[in-house]
Amino acid sequence: MARKKKDQKNLIKDIAGQRIEYLFRLAEESYATSPERSNRYISLARRIAMRYRVRFPSFLKRRICKDCHSFLVPGSSSRIRLHGRYMTITCLKCGKEMRYPYRSGGKSD
C-alpha cells in the first residue's frame, strides 16, 4: 500500500515538472508579443512548483527574478555582465542583481 502511494506521488511530481517546463516554453514564445502574459505563465509555474514541492532546474531558475518574480529575457528585461568568476544578472524591472558563479573556458587555477 505504501509503495503504491509513493509511486503515485512521484508520478504527480513528474507531471508537475513537465507542466512547469511547458509554461516556461510558452512564456519564452509569447514574450515578444505580450510580456505580461509571459509573467503570468511564470507565476503559474511558481504556484505549481510550490503546490507540489517541485524545484526548478537551475537553467529555469535563472530565468526568473528573485525579487519581483518576472520572466527574464537577456537584453530585454535583464542585463547580463561577466565579472571575473561570476555572472551578474540585473532585472530591469525592479533593479535586483543576482550573482551566479561560472567557470571560464580559459586557463585553470
Q: Which CATH superfamily is domain 2-101 in?
A: Immunoglobulin FC, subunit C (1.20.5.420)
What's the pTM?
Answer: 0.84
86 three-state secondary structure: strand
pLDDT at 5: 83
pLDDT at 109: 45
pLDDT along the chain (109 residues), means of 10: 82 95 96 95 97 93 94 95 94 95 66
- Count CA atoms closer than 13 A to 98's CA, side-chain side: 18
Q: State the Rg of the chain over Cα.
A: 17
pLDDT at 106: 59
